Chain A
Amino acid sequence: MGITLPILILALPFTMFLILGIGGVKMSRKLAGTLGILANGALAVMAYIVAFTYFFSGEAQFILDGVRQQVQLFDVTWLAFTERMVVNIGFLLDPISAMMLVVITTISFMVHLYSWGYMEHEPGFQRYYAFLALFTFSMLGLVVATNIFQMYIFWELVGVSSYLLIGFFYKLPSAVSASKKAFIVTRFADLFMLIGILVLSYYVSHTPADGPLGGASAFNFMMLNAQPTNVLASTLGATFLSGSVLTWAMILIFVGGMGKSAMLPLHIWLPDAMEGPTPVSALIHAATMVVAGVYLVARFFPLYCIVPDSLTFITVVGAITAFYAAVVACAQIDIKRILAFSTISQIAFMMVALGCAYNEPIEGVHYSGLGYMAGMFHLFTHAMFKALLFLGAGALIHAVHSNDYTKMGGLRKYMPITHITFLIGCLAIAGIWPFSGFFSKDEMLAAMFNRHWFWGAWMTMVAGLTAFYMFRMYYLVFWWEENPEYKTSHHKPHDAPWQMSLPLIILAAVSCVAGFIPFGELVTYNGEPYHIHIEAPVAATSLTVAVLAIGLATAMYVKKNPWPTRLKNMFPALWQAAHRRFYWDEIYMFITHNIIFNIICRGIAWFDRHIIDGAMDGMAAVTNWCSVRIKGMQSGTVTAYVRWYFIGAVLLAAITWICLL
């Protein structure tokens, strides 16, 4: 494969950003929208060609003896810190980046199309498409990164695109503060990632230039991943708090991923990010950007495996987050917030799968990289059905003009397309055969059971909760009791225009069939094919749990009944805590506002004005004071001069006398 397509894949969205960003003001909505959609369609076609060539062409460059290869299609120097630390910008093609190319361009295209209808009447339509293009560019740059520094660059860029899109309705104070929060929280996490990169590259770049790690820049993924043992050896056994320095570096890098992927305790920005336009939530905060953390772990997988403590850390963080988010999702009212917490929970699922994919034999048992494959599989299927759910939620909000399910109910009659596609999304996420979520979730659970029964059982429980809260939402929106306002209202809720319905139908179709993709043949940790087979006991358990949970949700929410309220009143504290997301925002608010802002910042500012500057002003004041005192001597009065003359003469005489003695 030449380098034309890869370069175009990066250049096209960026050019679109410049064209729409600078020239957008002068364009009509139609022109800007058409340009954006066409460019993105072309981009999707190119990405498909690249991905299909990679997976199916059978060229020796891409697959050698049945093993899929990693290929750097191009890699040019961007900045050289030192001889060994060289930042390149390149295009790395391997199973996961090829898969991500497909995911990103597909969802992005769907969202471009959908927004044509959804954002029709919003001011700043052109700006919106410009930002979407910027985001697509940054995300593509992130997944094809050939080195950790390139990834960091695009990591920051997706953060900014996310900031711009969350704050798209910039006149609303809530949108502004949500965008600010998202950026600062992820920036805080990126700080750790940066330190992790600093540590890692410091040790790697200080190995001999003609040694095994000397071949490429110290940031290069292929070089680092190919020889994890040498990377570990490069730290020369340095430790910090009894952990190897490499463990710490990998955990620090992972913290960056925790920020972007909204893992506890850095999850607080994602629910607020729902202030952005709904299609943006579908693209950035459900399907692509938020899985960057998972992608990061997958990208550095060999290095994580060489320091298993870091994988344990990932597993624990993921398991806690998955449970926490699932519980909170059961007590939300805003449907976008429910989906946001569901996203957090599902991403945490992938994290746990990766954490359980440790592929070295432990105590004689060989764990395959099953978790890796399953995590990536779930990333793929989740992107499709979660985008579907968000876009469906967008159609609901478009029809009802509210985010709260209390304003909905009984919508199945008014919005049949939305209803069916949304149901498909719910079935997929709940893991019901034959929808896509069943297959990926089954593989993930199998990997977790392989690692330890506890993780498997724990995550099966989370899967049950997932089915419950999804169907709770589904019933409250589409069944329950019809909102009486619909009958009297002039604008009865109705299905969205075709630009919005078409993406829903396409994504629903994908969610139905994606499970049958032989994913194991395409994406595995070492490039060798893995033959997926359904593990009957695991599948049966998870299916039973899911069906039971759906049954419970049906019993509780299919028709209006007092039971949910009664249940809520039975455990008011618990419901309140879950509804308020276990007070994480309040804790953060206290720390940032009361301690950092009011005590530290104000304290420093006061210190600066009154102590440091006070000292400077004080010096001036003392000089002034002295001069006022002394200037009296120069009074022009002869008697005073004579007096001073005598005093001076006597003093001099006295001093001379004393000295001479």
Chain B
Amino acid sequence: MFSNLLIWFVIVPIIMMAGLACCGNSNMKAIRAVMVTCSTVLLGMAIWLVCEFLRLRGAGDTSEMLFQGSWMWYEPLNIHLAVGVDGISVLMLLLSAIIVFAGTFASWKISPLPKNFFLWFALLSTGVFGFFISIDMFTMFMFYEVALIPMYLLIGVWGTGRKEYSAMKLTLMLMGGSAFLMLGLLGIAWHSGSAGVPEWNILQIAHNNSIDPSWQNLLFCFTFVGFGVLGAMFPFHTWSPDGHACAPTAVSMLHAGVLMKLGGYGCFRIAIYLLPSAAQELSWIFIILTGISIVYGAFSACVQTDLKYINAYSSVSHCGMVLFAILMLNQTAMTGGILQMLSHGLMTALFFALIGMIYGRTHTRDIRQMGGLMKIMPYLGVCYMIAGFASLGLPGMSGFVAEMTIFFGAFEDSDLFHRIFVIAATCSIVITAVYILRVVGKLILGPVQDEHHLSLTDASWWERLSTVTLIVCLAGIGFFPNWINETIQNSFVPIVNALQAAI
């Protein structure tokens, strides 16, 4: 079991928790040492996994999932701990590792209770990594819940503003989504199993493809809505602005950067892959909802005055784009959806990190009370502008690659309904520019608003490390997108084949 590389993505965070538990309560040095070591190890493992994956694929290994392993966990219900990765999960693991790494540095000076904060943080990452390596629906769901629960405490204890309300709202709404999801997963498992034994293995279910089409429709709605809540789909997105606004920096980073991706990932891995005929039949409902998300989120972001609200609504718009792309059900658009997940993850993490750093200095997030930060903290100002450009889809940044892939893919569907929604979605590139430049113009540029801000300092070394990591990744995808694009496209082949067969 331990010879499987993937399982270590769960074991390392657990070791991290054990290590933290051994540290003294306020021994910052020891806590940081554990966090930095483990997150660096995770990042190294993720990079190594990508290289190894590409090497195996290059060597001609064409099986759908690599590094597979399966261990019986609970025999009566046929539940396994089954792991395996394709190109998409590999990239998602890399994204998570990058953001855990950057998040560690972004919360360098967290207080109070640093040890407990990082313990929950580590538990959250356990859930995230576990989710992406699982190919057994039950363990997948378990890790999903493991990732959600710590959010409540992380926001409730270390948050700001109306933190209890937001923490409760976020948890309840996501749990509501989980309830739908559980129903959907149970339905899929029982309907595709045989002889009274449920089938949880995703590959096996897809291979059997034995779910009755009429049941598929119901289960599709359950699973898509269940995951869609986490993917901030309209009208189930309202946890996002409040939740993000109150969460501490690293939690916002991890939540928007990775946790919201769990939604999109689940949508195509389970809802679409396992229920292809329902996906073909019902995608239009969700295209409408996600199409609304894109434009609605962007318009809402235009009038917000709290930096985190702006970013949360922008996330609604960008994550809407992810689900929208996945619902187009063709290879190019879906590839764009995954690219958008990566891009949005990195970019939003960068944004939230910067907002945290700015808030830590000025103690306000209201853009009306700040201005001219470029003069006071040029490094953070430049980073904020870079993040903004990534968000509005400047060529050379990952957002451009993702959006263009989505638009060109989505335009392949030539009926009027799809065309209208694609054109509506493309309008978001203008609205995004409006709200990004509005914030940049008020916050970063212009005259200094508050005299007291003149004495503030620029970024420290750990903040620089955190932001540079993210910027390098954003530009890396933006400059050399093709290898990632190819990796993702190849991974979509089985899903697209399943969809083709279901027409």
Q: Is there an interface contact between A604 and B296, defined as CB atoms closer than 8 Å?
A: yes
Q: Is there an interface contact between A613 and B447, defined as CB atoms closer than 8 Å?
A: no
| Per-residue A-contact encoding for B260-304, CB less than 8 Å = 1, 0 else | 000000000000000000000000000000000000100110111
List residues of chain B with CB within 8 A of the CB of A179.
441
Describe A's contact surface by its main secondary structure: helix
Query: Which one of A40-48, A435-443, A568-576, A594-602 contacts B?
Result: A594-602
A164's nearest neighbour on chain B, judged by CB, is B385
Query: Which one of A190-198, A223-231, A397-405 contacts B?
Result: A190-198
List residues of chain B with CB within 8 A of the CB of A198.
407-408, 411, 422, 426
Please tell me if B372 contacts chain A, counting CB pairs below 8 Å: yes
- In the bound complex, how far is the Cα of B302 from the Cα of A190, in angstroms? 20
List residues of chain B with CB within 8 A of the CB of A608.
238, 296, 300
Query: Which one of B107-115, B195-203, B389-397 contacts A?
Result: B389-397
* A195 interface neighbour in B332, B426, B481, Cβ under 8 Å: B426
Q: Is there an interface contact between A173 and B447, defined as CB atoms closer than 8 Å?
A: yes
Please tell me if B445 contacts chain A, counting CB pairs below 8 Å: yes
Q: Is there an interface contact between B430 and A202, defined as CB atoms closer than 8 Å?
A: no
Q: CB within 8 Å of B: which of A592-620?
A: 597, 600-602, 604-605, 608, 612-613, 615-616, 620
B392's nearest neighbour on chain A, judged by CB, is A187
B396's nearest neighbour on chain A, judged by CB, is A157
B372's nearest neighbour on chain A, judged by CB, is A171
List residues of chain A with CB within 8 A of the CB of B152.
none
List residues of chain B with CB within 8 A of the CB of A183.
433, 437
List residues of chain B with CB within 8 A of the CB of A170.
374, 444-446
| Per-residue A-contact encoding for B445-464, CB less than 8 Å = 1, 0 else | 11100000000000000000
| Per-residue B-contact encoding for A218-257, CB less than 8 Å = 1, 0 else | 0000000000000000000000000000000000000000
On chain A, the number of residues with a Cβ less than 8 Å from chain B's Cβ atoms is: 48
A236 to chain B, nearest CB (A): 11
Please tell me if A78 contacts chain B, counting CB pairs below 8 Å: yes
Q: Is there an interface contact between B445 and A176, defined as CB atoms closer than 8 Å?
A: yes
List residues of chain B with CB within 8 A of the CB of A171.
372, 375, 445-447
Please tell me if A559 contacts chain B, counting CB pairs below 8 Å: no
Q: Is there an interface contact between B445 and A601, defined as CB atoms closer than 8 Å?
A: no
Q: CB within 8 Å of A: which of B36-68?
A: none
| Per-residue A-contact encoding for B391-424, CB less than 8 Å = 1, 0 else | 0111110001100110111011010000000110
Q: Is there an interface contact between B430 and A187, defined as CB atoms closer than 8 Å?
A: yes
Please tell me if A3 contacts chain B, counting CB pairs below 8 Å: no
B235's nearest neighbour on chain A, judged by CB, is A612
* B304 interface neighbour in A163, A172, A177, A605, Cβ under 8 Å: A605
Please tell me if A588 contacts chain B, counting CB pairs below 8 Å: no
Question: Which interface residue of A173, A187, A620 has the most chain B CB atoms within 10 A?
Answer: A187
A73 to chain B, nearest CB (A): 21
A289 to chain B, nearest CB (A): 15
Q: Is there an interface contact between A184 and B303, defined as CB atoms closer than 8 Å?
A: no
- In the bound complex, how far is the Cα of B395 from the Cα of A149, in angstroms? 11
Query: Which one of A79-87, A485-493, A630-638 contacts B?
Result: A79-87
Q: Is there an interface contact between B395 and A156, defined as CB atoms closer than 8 Å?
A: yes
Please tell me if B482 contacts chain A, counting CB pairs below 8 Å: yes
Please tell me if A160 contacts chain B, counting CB pairs below 8 Å: yes
Please tell me if B172 contacts chain A, counting CB pairs below 8 Å: yes
Q: Is there an interface contact between A85 and B408, defined as CB atoms closer than 8 Å?
A: yes
Please tell me if A412 contacts chain B, counting CB pairs below 8 Å: no
Please tell me if B427 contacts chain A, counting CB pairs below 8 Å: yes
List residues of chain A with CB within 8 A of the CB of B172.
620
Q: Is there an interface contact between A81 and B332, defined as CB atoms closer than 8 Å?
A: yes
- In the bound complex, how far is the Cα of B395 from the Cα of A79, in angstroms? 12
List residues of chain A with CB within 8 A of the CB of B153.
none
List residues of chain A with CB within 8 A of the CB of B375.
171
A614's nearest neighbour on chain B, judged by CB, is B238
Q: Is there an interface contact between B485 and A184, defined as CB atoms closer than 8 Å?
A: no
- In the bound complex, how far is the Cα of B241 from the Cα of A613, in angstroms? 10
Q: Is there an interface contact between B433 and A184, defined as CB atoms closer than 8 Å?
A: yes
Please tell me if B212 contacts chain A, counting CB pairs below 8 Å: no
Given A612-B238, A613-B238; A177-B441 close (CB under 8 Å): yes
Q: Is there an interface contact between A605 and B300, defined as CB atoms closer than 8 Å?
A: yes
Please tell me if B438 contacts chain A, counting CB pairs below 8 Å: yes
Please tell me if A29 contacts chain B, counting CB pairs below 8 Å: no
* A191 interface neighbour in B331, B412, B426, Cβ under 8 Å: B426
Please tell me if A548 contacts chain B, counting CB pairs below 8 Å: no
Given A85-B408, A613-B238; A176-B482 close (CB under 8 Å): no
- In the bound complex, how far is the Cα of B423 from the Cα of A202, in angstroms? 14
B168's nearest neighbour on chain A, judged by CB, is A620
B40 to chain A, nearest CB (A): 25
Q: Is there an interface contact between A79 and B441, defined as CB atoms closer than 8 Å?
A: no
Given A157-B395, A184-B430; A77-B482 close (CB under 8 Å): yes
A82's nearest neighbour on chain B, judged by CB, is B332
Q: Is there an interface contact between A601 and B300, defined as CB atoms closer than 8 Å?
A: yes
- In the bound complex, how far is the Cα of B300 from the Cα of A19, in angstroms? 39
A197's nearest neighbour on chain B, judged by CB, is B408
- In the bound complex, how far is the Cα of B335 from the Cα of A80, in angstroms? 11
A161 to chain B, nearest CB (A): 11
Please tell me if A641 contacts chain B, counting CB pairs below 8 Å: no
| Per-residue B-contact encoding for A157-185, CB less than 8 Å = 1, 0 else | 10010010001001111001101100110
- In the bound complex, how far is the Cα of B427 from the Cα of A608, in angstroms? 20
List residues of chain A with CB within 8 A of the CB of B169.
616, 620
Q: CB within 8 Å of B: which of A496-540?
A: none
| Per-residue A-contact encoding for B321-359, CB less than 8 Å = 1, 0 else | 000000000011000000000000000000000000000
A93 to chain B, nearest CB (A): 22
Please tell me if A650 contacts chain B, counting CB pairs below 8 Å: no
Q: CB within 8 Å of B: which of A71-107?
A: 77-82, 85
Q: Is there an interface contact between B427 and A191, defined as CB atoms closer than 8 Å?
A: yes
- In the bound complex, how far is the Cα of B372 from the Cα of A219, in angstroms? 42
Please tell me if B465 contacts chain A, counting CB pairs below 8 Å: no
Question: Which interface residue of B234, B300, B392, B407 has the most chain A CB atoms within 10 A?
Answer: B300
Please tell me if B429 contacts chain A, counting CB pairs below 8 Å: yes
Q: Is there an interface contact between B394 and A188, defined as CB atoms closer than 8 Å?
A: no
Q: Is there an interface contact between A604 and B395, defined as CB atoms closer than 8 Å?
A: no
- In the bound complex, how far is the Cα of B319 from the Cα of A606, in angstroms? 21
Q: Is there an interface contact between A191 and B302, defined as CB atoms closer than 8 Å?
A: no
* B429 interface neighbour in A167, A173, A191, A605, Cβ under 8 Å: A191
- In the bound complex, how far is the Cα of B438 from the Cα of A612, in angstroms? 25
Please tell me if A201 contacts chain B, counting CB pairs below 8 Å: yes
Please tell me if B206 contacts chain A, counting CB pairs below 8 Å: no
List residues of chain B with CB within 8 A of the CB of A163.
437
List residues of chain A with CB within 8 A of the CB of B411.
198-199, 202
List residues of chain B with CB within 8 A of the CB of A187.
392, 429-430, 433
Please tell me if A153 contacts chain B, counting CB pairs below 8 Å: yes
Q: Is there an interface contact between A601 and B302, defined as CB atoms closer than 8 Å?
A: yes
Q: Is there an interface contact between A156 and B394, defined as CB atoms closer than 8 Å?
A: yes
B447 to chain A, nearest CB (A): 6
Given A80-B482, A157-B396, A180-B438; A604-B299 close (CB under 8 Å): yes
B383 to chain A, nearest CB (A): 13
Q: Is there an interface contact between A78 and B238, defined as CB atoms closer than 8 Å?
A: no
List residues of chain A with CB within 8 A of the CB of B434.
184
A22's nearest neighbour on chain B, judged by CB, is B382
List residues of chain B with CB within 8 A of the CB of A160.
389, 394
List residues of chain A with CB within 8 A of the CB of B481.
78-79
Please tell me if B173 contacts chain A, counting CB pairs below 8 Å: yes
Given A195-B423, A601-B299; A80-B446 close (CB under 8 Å): no
Besides A171-B446, A184-B434, A608-B296, 11 other A-B contacts (C-beta < 8 A)? A82-B412, A153-B400, A156-B393, A170-B374, A176-B446, A188-B430, A195-B426, A604-B299, A612-B234, A615-B235, A620-B172
Residues of B within 8 A of A (CB): 169, 172-173, 234-235, 237-238, 296, 299-300, 302-304, 331-332, 372, 374-375, 378, 389, 392-396, 400-401, 404-405, 407-409, 411-412, 414, 422-423, 426-427, 429-430, 433-434, 437-438, 441, 444-447, 481-482, 485-486
5 example contacts (A-B, Cβ-Cβ < 8 A) are as follows: A154-B395, A177-B441, A191-B430, A198-B407, A597-B303
Q: 3 smallest A-B Cβ distances: which pairs?
A: A170-B445, A613-B238, A153-B395
